[in-house]
């Protein structure tokens, strides 16, 4: 698929082309889109442009061997991962996925489930996918150029899978490219999302807002002071939030704050409207704390979604944070 065939935003398509032309391609890109959006089309066009040996005028040629293989989803160095049910893997269901994408690259999650025959089951990206992918990436690119991984719905990835893939996404081998497509960016594990360059496609997918930053302040101050009773009290306040949506918003807000602490510890520029008090907290916590804490908040987010008892959940969260501070 060529950029001209995607119907995507001209500004976004121009940006993607300029990344390739300048040789400054981010090692991981995450497209956010509404369900049924243009991200798969844009991803295929981007990869086709990246691999094309005869690109010109800001688009791929569309006829060279690389373009032909990518357009048919059969390029040996492009790997696709999507939610499935055990014991199946993306590779074992690739023919159904390929048929769906070629027929309609703007498919919905429901249409994918129907195409794979798993519409009534709970699909996820399990650790078997990570093991299989890492084994493939351990081999050299078959055509000597880029190797690419497209992860559809990374929000369906469990913690163990994310842990297996984190290093590959964070520090990939040369000419290894990850593209993630999400319909719920607030549900993507922050340890993964923070390693990606985010690009919005279609209507804005909004994360829940959190308007009580003082709750995180109280928790962090108690943890830093090694005051476990105060930290548990802060956990009880969190457990008393009025809804699970509020609790998920807190976990996302807190995870963003941990990322800002990490940036502050590295002396890097912070976002203009960042979460938390990173400059204040950074020198008071271990260098290992921010990343470990992000994993704790990501875990809490998933447990909130699974309707785990809020008091148990936040007591456990405080205990885990107290052990790594």
- The reported pLDDT for the residue numbered 207 is 55
Domains plus CATH for the chain? 3-200 (3.40.50.300), 214-324 (1.20.272.10)
Q: What is the pLDDT along the chain (325 residues), one digit of tens a residue?
A: 999 999 888 999 999 999 999 998 989 999 999 999 999 999 999 999 999 999 999 999 999 999 999 999 999 999 999 999 988 999 999 999 999 999 999 999 989 999 999 875 678 999 999 999 999 888 888 887 889 999 999 999 988 898 899 989 988 888 899 999 999 888 888 889 888 999 999 765 555 678 899 999 999 999 999 999 999 999 999 999 999 889 989 998 998 899 889 888 988 777 666 678 999 999 999 999 998 999 899 889 888 888 899 999 999 999 999 999 9
Residue 64, judged by CB atoms within 10 A of its CB (0-12, 13-18, 19+), counts as: middle
Supply the pTM of this predicted model: 0.68
């Amino acid at each position: 698929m060529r950029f001209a065939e995607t119907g995507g935003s001209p500004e976004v398509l121009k940006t993607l082309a300029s990344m390739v032309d300048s040789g400054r391609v981010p090692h991981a890109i995450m497209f956010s889109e509404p369900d049924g959006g243009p991200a798969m089309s844009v991803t295929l066009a981007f990869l086709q442009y990246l691999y094309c040996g005869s690109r010109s005028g800001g688009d791929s040629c569309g006829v060279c061997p690389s373009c032909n293989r990518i357009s048919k989803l059969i390029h040996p160095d492009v790997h696709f991962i999507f939610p499935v049910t055990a014991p199946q893997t993306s590779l074992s269901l690739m023919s159904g996925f390929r048929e769906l994408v070629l027929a309609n690259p703007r498919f919905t999650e429901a249409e994918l489930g129907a195409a794979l025959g798993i519409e009534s089951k709970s699909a996820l990206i399990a650790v078997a996918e990570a093991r299989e992918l890492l084994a493939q990436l351990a081999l050299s690119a078959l055509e000597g150029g880029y190797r690419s991984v497209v992860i559809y719905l990374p929000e369906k990835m469990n913690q163990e899978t994310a842990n297996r893939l984190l290093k590959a996404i964070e520090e990939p081998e040369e000419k290894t490219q990850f593209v993630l497509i999400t319909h719920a960016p607030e549900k993507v594990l922050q340890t993964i999302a923070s390693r990606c360059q985010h690009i919005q496609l279609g209507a804005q997918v909004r994360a829940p807002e959190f308007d009580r930053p003082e709750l995180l302040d109280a928790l962090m101050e108690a943890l830093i002071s090694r005051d476990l009773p105060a930290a548990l009290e802060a956990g009880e306040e969190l457990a008393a939030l009025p809804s699970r949506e509020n609790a998920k918003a807190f976990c996302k807000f807190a995870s963003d704050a941990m990322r800002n602490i990490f940036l502050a510890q590295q002396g890097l520029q912070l976002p203009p409207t960042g979460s938390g008090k990173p400059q204040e907290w950074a020198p008071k916590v271990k260098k290992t704390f921010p990343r470990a804490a992000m994993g704790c908040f990501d875990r809490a987010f998933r447990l909130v979604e699974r309707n785990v008892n809020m008091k148990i959940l936040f007591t456990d969260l405080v205990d885990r944070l107290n052990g790594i501070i």
